[in-house]
A and B are shown apart, each in its own frame.
Chain A
Amino acid sequence: MALSETVAGPERPATSTEPTPTGRKRRSGNAGYWLYLLPGAVLFILVIGAPLVGTIYLSLTKWSGVGDPTFIGLANYRNLLHDEVFWTSFKNTLAMIIAMVVVPTLVGLVLAAALFDVIGRKFKPRTAAALRAAFYLPQVLPVVVAGIVWGWILRPDGAFNSLLDAVGLGALRHDWLGDPNTAMPSVMAVMIWVQIGYPVVVFMAALQRVDPELYEAAEVDGANWFRRFRAITLAQIRPETFVVALTCTIAALKVFGPVFALTRGGPENTTNVPSYFAYYTFFKKLQVGYGSAISTVLTLIIIVVAVVFIWLQYRSERQDRGV
């Protein structure tokens, strides 16, 4: 989905290679373009820049949202270190990364290869497209609607328990979202269901780039399906794999809607995540300073993760070119 272009990225400077007509003309030519950046820049500062700075400042204060914030330095951050809910919420983020990044990417790779390589080529491409649509459908659904439907399915008197009864596994009936032991695994299962279509669609689009002759040559050489998958598919669509892994990891760090709809972070915080924790602290507990500290930590983690990802991608691209 048009993401392939993002991989190439704008990081490659092109100015240096290009002949400059005359120094002055060039500069005055560029200056005119600043005007085009103006509306976007003003909006950006108002809606993203200033609020972000505001949140960082508020994280150094104690404030209930009315009156004036009291500056308290790093006290909020010190409190965070001893806050069990804070640590639990970040531990739960790791579970979300498994459910929203690791499993969907791995399963998505296999599914996309199966759909494209086997079903698309040995059966009708139409069949592959129809199956792909089935996997992608949950992605179209607003996540909150998905959360509400799943919340009902997993209820003690919901459809899942009835299904267990119907197939003779009634002994497994359970309050899936209400029991601290099963709440997180249930939320993870829902997130896998929600997420799986995204890598499938991106990887299938990526596979269209791959030269079919590569597969033919490998087939002639007698490489079996698994070897072709490893040597060609994985190698060729690595840029897209990076993009999927990065965007899904960011999404997992930020996940809010499904947790809100399924469990509101409960029972006993077993499904609480940083963004729900921050929301709850802002708007239910009215501890704006503390909520800002949680948000600031989350922001920092996201920036670090993004920078590490982009650096890894850059390095692997350079290695490819270097070898």
Chain B
Amino acid sequence: MTVTLTPAENAVTPRRPQPARDRHHRGASRWIVLVLVTLGALAMLVPFVFMLLNAFKSPGDYSSGGPLSWPSEFYTKGLRNYWTQVNFPLKLWNSALIAGSVAVLGVVVSLLNAYALGIGRVRGRLWIVGLFLLANMLPQEALIYPLYYVAKQIGLYNTQLSVIIIFTVIQSAFGTYLLASVLGTFPRSLLEAAALDGAGKWKILWRVVFPNLRPTLAVLLIFFFIWTWNEFLIPLVMLIDNSTQTIPVALASLQGDRLMDAPTTNAGALISLVPAILFFLIFQRTLSRGITAGAEK
């Protein structure tokens, strides 16, 4: 996109010579826009600055200097306390296990569903897709009590598996909706050519459809991961044990704790944020590629 824009801009300028006053005016207003938007962006970052500023303060430092003072020493004990107190590596593993499994399984289920709906065009598919779309919009409160009750009965309560199964279905409801509409426009000629070569449905799915869909699937995978990583209500209800909880649930359950002073709260929030930001930075390129791939369709 950046490539197509720059020449367009260049092409405009020489074509229309402008009165000097107008040009000057335009030059000033674009700077005003830049300053305003930059100020807005900086304001968005203020809470993160607060978090950083207070995550490395000693409790004494905090109580004497307050939340805005520069830390008098680089204090990491709050961070280490939080790390060991909540057994952070275990929480990280739980979150990664749940979000990772859901991302992969959710994409597979979405793809299978969408293959039947978008390419197989099974009967009643409009209703089926509509049902999936509505399911994605349901409030989780409308499902939670029966799920909680049944999970308790069959021994899945307080296991990561229960959360993985639930979110695989919830996320794939959205994935099915999205992929079914994408596959609805899949070039028929490709399918027919493969069928003439004697490829069965299973082979066509993995040799023809899957490779073509890979950018969209990658975006879906990342969305599923981040969405599941950030989920709260169902993990809060289903995972009550220290050994099964995810990062957001662990942080929230420490919140009311008197032992959590302000620096520890900030340290906890900071390390809970790091995996999400790392993930975001790593996959940002994939995401913007996926967006363009979708837009070009």
Contacts and interface: CB of A to CB of B under 8 A. Distances in A.
A40 interface: yes
Interface stretch (A74-82, A97-105, A286-294, A313-321): A286-294
Interface in A282-319: 282-283, 288, 291-292, 294-296, 298-299, 302-303, 306
B243 to A, nearest CB: 20
Nearest to B233: A256
A254 interface: yes
Contacts of B172: 40, 43
Name the interface size band of chain B: 35 or more
A138 interface: yes
Nearest to A250: B137
B89 interface: no
A298 B226 contact: no
Taking residues whose C-beta sits less than 8 angstroms from the other chain, chain A's interface range is 35 or more
B297 A196 contact: no
Contacts of A1: 219, 223, 287, 290-291, 294
A130 B297 CA distance: 26
Given A120-B5, A212-B4, A302-B137, A2 B168 contact: no
B68 A51 contact: no
Nearest to A127: B34
B137 A291 contact: no
A68 interface: no
Contact of A119 (B34, B42, B176): B34
A134 B45 contact: yes
A39 interface: yes
A159 B269 CA distance: 15
Interface string A27-54: 0001011111101100110111011101
SS class of chain B's interface: helix, strand, loop or mixed?
A: helix
Contact of A253 (B54, B139, B166): B139
B211 interface: no
A13 B126 contact: yes
A216 to B, nearest CB: 6
B196 interface: no
A134 B116 contact: no
Interface string B102-131: 000000011011011111111101101100
Contacts, number: 316
A220 B16 contact: yes
Interface in B33-48: 33-34, 36-38, 40-42, 44-45, 47-48
B244 interface: no
Contacts of A184: none
B197 interface: no
Contacts of B268: 148
A152 interface: yes
Contacts of B12: 216, 219-220
A3 B178 CA distance: 8
Contact of A122 (B30, B165, B233): B30
A19 to B, nearest CB: 10
A6 to B, nearest CB: 6
Interface in A148-162: 148-153, 157-159, 162
A168 interface: no
Given A5-B181, A6-B181, A257-B233, A52 B139 contact: no
A118 B33 contact: yes
Nearest to A143: B230
B126 A138 contact: no
A36 B141 contact: no
Given A1-B219, A58-B145, A282-B144, A40 B112 contact: yes
Contact of B141 (A46, A149, A278): A278
Contact of A135 (B44, B236, B280): B44
14 contacts: A1-B291, A2-B219, A5-B182, A10-B177, A36-B205, A143-B248, A145-B273, A153-B47, A159-B54, A208-B292, A295-B144, A295-B145, A303-B137, A306-B134
Given A111-B37, A127-B34, 18 more contacts: A5-B178, A5-B216, A5-B297, A30-B120, A30-B122, A33-B122, A36-B115, A40-B176, A65-B145, A134-B45, A143-B248, A149-B265, A152-B265, A153-B47, A163-B68, A274-B141, A279-B141, A295-B144
